[in-house]
Chains A and B, each alone.
Chain A
Amino acid sequence: MTDIRIPDDLWDTDETPEGAIGSWLFGDGETVEEGTTVATVMAGKTEYDIPAPASGTLHVDKDADVAVTPGEVIGRVA
């Protein structure tokens, strides 16, 4: 099981305390390949791609539009 984690330094939390999941590009239980963009995260007015850290089955922990902060685990690949 590999965590899909928002990098600690993706944005400056002094300026933007939290972001939000923009969208999931794959559904819970779908197969994903390492490096494929599986989600987007929006912080301030910037949207970033979040890649799958490994190949396997995607488990979504945080739904779209849910608030997130750097370092948080938003899903897993098993």
Chain B
Amino acid sequence: MEVSDDHRSWRKRLLAFYPIWDVRDEVVPDDSSQSPQEHVARDAALARERIRAAGPDERPPALFRLWSNTRCLVVTQREERLPSFAAAARASAERGWPVVARDSGGTTVPHTPGTLLLTLLLPRLRAEDPPVQEPRADTVFTLLCDPVIEAMARLGVSATYGAVPRSFCDGRFNLVAHNRKIAGTAQRWRGGLPRYPVRDGFVMAHLALYVDTDMHAATRAVNSFLADTGSSEAFDSGQMISLREAMRRSGAGDPSSDVLRIFQERLVEVLRATRI
């Protein structure tokens, strides 16, 4: 999928609208000092904290948060309402995949210690802000994903946008390498409708990049959970690829290296350079 010039134009306007773009690296692989739910809930807590901390005349900075989680399945609040959700979640936890709900778009996704998570937090337009229109969600997805594509390119892996049928949580703004899904995305607009000033609203855009993840085990965990909820959906792990495997297929990098740490460093470099 090609990203249109319109999105590129919006991207520039958005970058200019937020004078500060912070980067917070909170990646601690397999950090069990917090529960998976606490790791997930931190995005919204951080957004609210930063909006509160901004003075009356200050626009809160945009923030890229890099983070990681322990092994779990992240589901939407919509899926949480399924009649057999509680029993399905218990069974998944017994299989070693606890289930946590997140107030966001998309469908069930796995998090593992080898999954790099990136969240873009954008404070929403306020009544006192100049009357610039907010962009569409597609533009926010490109702001989230373009740095990841660039960081992968620096490791020798070429990625594009696109849907990958039969991959879990499929969507147009997946990242795709070697014709397989390597990262998925979702987005949540809090506080009111786009292009209307809101009070204390923010956009959360999420990306999960499967850096060093056993995609067969992760897909099996999603399929088992969904089957237990009564869903007939089942996904194909052959439609997924980890960054480690993509690097191997691209003839890039040392397969014995700590791919997660190396990619994390590249991504931080790219994110810190995010400017017009």
Contacts and interface: CB of A to CB of B under 8 A. Distances in A.
A22 B190 CA distance: 13
Contacts of B185: 45
B172 interface: yes
Interface of B: 76-78, 81, 103-106, 136-138, 169, 171-173, 185-195, 201
Interface string A24-46: 00000000000101000011111
Nearest to B78: A22
A11 B172 contact: no
A47 B19 CA distance: 26
Contacts of B195: 9
B171 A44 contact: yes
Given A12-B138, A45-B171, 5 more contacts: A23-B77, A45-B106, A47-B103, A47-B189, A49-B201
Contacts of B138: 12, 15
Given A45-B185, A46-B189, A48-B194, A11 B136 contact: yes
A45 B136 contact: no
Given A7-B193, A37-B192, A42-B78, A47 B136 contact: no
Given A46-B186, A47-B105, A10 B194 contact: yes
Contact of A64 (B81, B106, B190): B81
A11 B137 contact: yes
Contacts of A47: 76, 103-105, 186-189
Contacts of A48: 189, 193-194
Contacts of A56: none
A46 B172 contact: no
A61 interface: no
A58 interface: no
Contacts of B103: 47
Contacts of A37: 191-192
